[in-house]
Amino acid sequence: MNISKKTEETGTYEKTVRGGDGFVTRSLISIIALMLALVLTLTSCGSAGTGDAGLTKTSAAKEYNAASKAEMFTDRDLSPDYDESGAVTVTLSGSSAKASSSKGISVSGSTVTITSEGTYIFSGELSDGQIIVEADDTAKVQIVLKGASITSSTSAAIYVKSADKVFVTTAEGTENSLANGGSFTADGDTNIDGAVFAKDDITFNGSGSLTVTSPAGHGIVGKDDVKLAGGTITIDAAEHGVQANDSVRVAEASITIDADNKDGVHVSDDADAEEGTTSDSFFYMADGSLTINAGDDGIHADAEANIEGGTIDVSDSYEGIEALAINVSDGDIKVAASDDGFNAAGGNTQSSNTFGSDDWGGGKGGMMNDGGSDGQINISGGNIYIQASGDGVDSNGSVTVSGGYTVVCGPSQGDTSVLDYNGTASITAGTFIGTGGAGMAANFSSADQGLIAVSVGNQSSGSTVTLTDADGKTLAEVTPELDYAVVYVSTSDMTSGGTYTLTAGSYSEEITLSDNIYSNISDGMQGGGRGGKGGMMNDGGQGGPQGGPEGMDTGAVQTAESGAA
């Protein structure tokens, strides 16, 4: 998918966000930039891994809650620099290591232990050994990998027992590797289960490359914050690619993750669940690139997934991005999922292909349910492409589209929908295009711009969807690579009173918007998804105890048959 980056647009926000040292309350900030119309020609709506997407886009003012890169990362997090003149150098050779000084460091066979704040430069190969950081809780330790390869047969190649913060910096122009040999031995009460294992904050930065390999466990494990802030990082793990308790933050790094059986990125604190408290574990991305091939979720965070920029490509996953709140304000995102593309659900639990506790047994009747009603999906910017075999955009709560450019290709059958939610779904700006099945289709509950959501009969993959205005100008065009029966189109060019022609394969209709929303999706398919108070799977069609959100006004939705529902 060939996507051009959006320019920043006017926005204001005030939010309390979790920074590196705790919670920081942000004051009202104004961001002013030139508004630029971007033109992108859509040729194919294919898989998230290989498809191309685009159409004529218009910019719109946006307001959104967002974290700031300056709050998420310190200057040192983002710096590739290190002081070589005052550093201790360590030469690795097979089963032994030799340090240039004993200041703050000790060597025992193939184990190197760092005990004091400072910079330590490693080069060479260690066939079966490790670096241990065991410093006081105020120490900032910088480990520089300068052509270093370290494998630990039964533990972590880097094991941070104690420190204030550890920086793992890859030197410019060097290739480095950290690996576990295939098994893990506990360190007392500590269950080490990653090729890199840190009990305190850890940052990966630099301008070299790093490969992390973990054939029996996770790639990188952090019990506090994990920051991926520079260099080229490749992670190949049997379990989670990156696992953290508090946060995973990405900026200025090029990252590739292959997580065979678990999530590409997993941010969750089990202690929150044990204490009965609300999780604040989050994922944040400012820029850089992140490519994920996952056996389970691409990205999972208990609390929030906040994406402000960069490129994300989830080429294979069960669910693409999952968090209680998913907030996208910028960036290029491609997701391929065998279940939901975006899923706002969970909290301390995760949905998975083995059913998490948010999927089963949580409703009043103890039957299949939706995992609650506090979820949020907020899209205020960015270019998003989702191909999902489950729901494309699924929120156990609300969906808000206030900007950006979103394309959803969903399946044509089963109990799935392009859009699924329990509360409300609104579109106020931006572009949203979706194709998928009609059986459980749900429409937006409100729109401040034109929106067409119609059943188009059974159409085959490769049947192009085109929307033109009264002058014949193409406003939207997409060629789904999955069969479809429902089409959603909403762009800022569509207004009440306008006349548009929608063509989808063998279907063609001229539509005049007497209101902002035009739909021939029957009431039985609406009402906001499959949640409801009863906790049982339903079609959301009744608007009452088992239906969608109570009191939702569906009367404003125009139908093809009657003119006004």
Residue-by-residue DSSP string for 493-546? T--TT-EEEEEETTEEEEEE-SSSEEE-S-GGG-SSSS--TT-S---B-SSSTT
Q: What is the mean pLDDT of the chain?
A: 80
DSSP string for residues in 325-339: EEEESS-EEEEEESS
CB 206 within 8 A of CB 170: yes
Query: Does 6 have pLDDT greater than 90?
Result: no
Where do the structural domains in the chain lie, given as residue ranges? 77-250
> Which of 169-178, 217-226, 276-285, 457-466 is predicted with the least confidence, judged by mean pLDDT?
276-285
The kind and range of the H/E element at 134 are strand 130-134
CA distances to 54, 95, 123, 176 from 109, in Å: 57, 7, 16, 21
Distance CA 337, CA 320 (A): 5
Tell me, what's the pLDDT at 346? 65
Q: How far is CA 189 from the centre of its chain?
A: 32
The predicted-structure confidence for 127-172, as pLDDT tens digits, reads as follows 999 999 999 999 999 999 999 999 999 999 999 999 999 999 999 9
Task: State the pLDDT confidence band at 374, using cuts at 50, 70 and 90.
Answer: confident
Q: How confident is the model at residue 532 (pLDDT cuts 50, 70, 90)?
A: very low
> Taking the model in full, what pTM does it have?
0.81
Classify residue 525 by its DSSP letter.
G
For residue 336, what are the β-bridge partners?
387
DSSP state of 28: P
Which backbone phi and psi does 46 adopt, to 5 degrees? -105, -160
pLDDT at 521: 81
More confident residue, 438 or 227: 227
Give the model's pLDDT for residue 474.
97
Read off the pLDDT of each residue in 29-42 and give the average, rounded to a whole number.
Answer: 33
Compare 334 and 64 and report the one with higher pLDDT: 334
Q: Write the pLDDT tens digit of every residue in 226-244.
A: 999 999 999 999 999 999 9
pLDDT digits (tens, 9 = 90+) for 261-273: 999 999 999 777 6
Work out the number of other CB atoms within 10 angstroms of the CB of residue 288: 21
Which residues have CB under 8 Å from 518's CB, separation 6+?
Answer: 450, 451, 452, 453, 454, 511, 558, 560
